[in-house]
Amino acid sequence: MNAAELDALLRQFLVDRKFSGAERDVLMGWADQHITTDQQRDVARSRVFESARNAVTDPAARDVIEFLENVLKVIVPTAGTVGSTASAAVAFSPGDVCLGMIVNHLINARRTVDICVFTITDDRISNTILAAHKRGVKIRIITDNEKAYDAGSDVPRFRETGIPVIVDESPFHMHHKFAIFDGQRLLNGSYNWTRGAAEQNEENIVDTDDREVIARFQHEFEALWKLLPTAK
């Protein structure tokens, strides 16, 4: 399926914010020719919602579009989630595989990234976070209060660019190391987001799209987000 061709059609249809009968016939003809599998249909549906989000500037309207997409995923699951087994990949360090997983997911994020990690000092990761923020991805970060103010911490850089950061204020540690991308992919493991983790430590990351597991981690993130104070 040619996603770029579909995007062009959708942009054309969205000019007048209406979906005419003639446009419906064009789209049906295109779909008959280019969509031959359930997976391609899922991709096309995702592109429709993405085109709608790109067509509006009102944040409230974007939120409603995202709400509709997420509701439909529950009520009418995509082919990739009906009767399928969740996929997962595992990576270990030292080496660049764990780092590559993190950076690739940040590059591919389109809407949201929720990061809950003990410390972030690897500029290769931090620069990719900042680039995602710059292109409009909604990023939230939870980190440990002591590590947030360590030499080399990139938390001040995030705050300077407007990325919201919250920290724990306790004698204990916020020791999680997980991140959720667009609500659809989870990275979790022992891997700290540091050069030491990539170059020296024995670490691991599990990368999964298991919806139930992601929901549990998302619940934990939201609970911490409401509980912990904003970094100062």
pLDDT of residue 102: 95
d(CA 193, CA 158): 14
Alpha helices in 109-175 (DSSP H): 123-134, 145-148, 155-160
Instruction: Reply yes or no on whether 133 is catalytic.
Output: no
Q: How do residues 148-203 score in pLDDT, each as one tens digit?
A: 776 668 888 998 999 999 988 777 888 999 999 999 899 999 999 999 999 999 99
Would residue 177 show up in a list of annotated catalytic residues for this protein?
yes
Q: For the sheet with 112-117, list strands across it.
A: 88-93, 203-208, 185-189, 177-181, 112-117, 138-143, 165-167
What is the share, in percent, of the chain residues with pLDDT greater than 90? 46
Cα–Cα distance for residue pair 62/155, rounded to 1 Å: 28
CB atoms within 10 A of CB 19: 12
| Stretch 193-222: mean pLDDT | 92
State mean pLDDT over 95-105.
92
Residue of 178, 144, 139, 136 whose CA lies nearest to 159: 139
Catalytic residue among 7, 42, 182, 210: 182
- Please state which of the ranges 69-73, 102-106, 113-117, 206-210 shows the lowest mean pLDDT: 69-73
Q: What interhelical angle do 123-134 and 97-108 show, nearest 10? A: 10
Query: Mean per-residue pLDDT for 57-65?
Result: 89
**What are the structural domain ranges in the chain?**
3-75, 88-227
| Residue 99 pLDDT greater than 80, yes or no | yes
Look at the chain and count its residues.
Answer: 232
Whole-number average pLDDT of the chain: 86
Which among 7, 73, 175, 209 is annotated as catalytic?
Answer: 175
- pLDDT number for residue 232: 41
* pLDDT tens by residue, 101-121: 999 999 999 999 999 999 898
pLDDT of 231 strictly over 50: no
Task: Given the residues 177, 207, 209, 210, select the one marked as catalytic.
Answer: 177
The CATH superfamily assigned to 88-227 is: Endonuclease Chain A (3.30.870.10)
Residue 24 has pLDDT above 90, yes or no: no
